Amino acid sequence: MARCTAPVRGHSSAAAAASCPVCRYKSRGYGGYSGYSPSYPSYSGTSSYSSSGGSRSRSSKPRWSKSSSSISYTSSQIQSLTPIRQAVEDKAAVQPDIRDAFLCHAWADRKESAMELHDLLDAAGVKIWFSEKDLGLGVPMMRAIDKGLANSKMGLVLVTPAMLERLPKESVADKELSALLAGNRLVPIVHNTTYEALRNVSPLLASRSGLDTSEDSMAEIAEKIAELVAI
């Protein structure tokens, strides 16, 4: 007696059915054989994942940023820099030809991080007052600093471990900060330290929100300052 070969070969095609001694007649139209068609489970769907841990929420551009700019800001950065921008605009309206910014830094940082920041700002087109470039030999230091402070739209203070060490000792940097804190035109740039460490040394300076190299690179910070002072 002829037996169906489907358990062995399977009738996955018309040719397979035609070679079966039992089913070949059905495949020719007798009995309406429809063949064997294996089925496989199918999976379709979408998945989404979002995480806020360790990420920074970026906001829309501040009003002083050009539409073509690709620089992004956090909402807290925009909030802290907006009054500085207003002070820059007010200062520029009265003294249009002065420097864009005065860079306050610890003496120990003058050849490294302060110089790096100066060079990046200079490359970004910021006219910056920097002691290593603007304090000439034989020039009275305090008088030159006073003049630099008076003739700058805003101030930058590079907050480093060296700066935190110098602040309690009433150094030259401390005097520069006192002058800049008197007006609403000072942006702290925290580098290799934290705002918490700054708060332990100078609560007044720490109350001024600014920029942090743990969030943005030094180059990105220089670009943001360049936008901030551009009139």
pLDDT at 183: 77
Helix axes 218-229, 113-123, angle to 10 degrees: 50
d(CA 73, CA 86): 17
In the chain, where the domains are located: 9-40, 58-229
Does the pLDDT value for residue 219 go beyond 80?
yes
Tell me if residue 186 falls in helix, strand or coil: strand
Phi/psi region, residue 192 (left: phi>0; alpha: psi -120 to 50; beta: rest), is left
pLDDT at 39: 41
Cross-strand partners of 104:
157
d(CA 115, CA 133): 10
Model pTM? 0.72
d(CA 54, CA 105): 29
Nearest to 23 by CA among 6, 37, 9: 6
Please tell me the CATH code under which domain 58-229 is placed. Answer: 3.40.50.10140
Q: What are phi and psi of 154, to 5 degrees?
A: -155, 175
Per-residue model confidence as pLDDT tens digits over 20-38: 665 555 544 434 334 434 4
- What confidence tier does 199 reach under pLDDT thresholds 50, 70, 90? very high
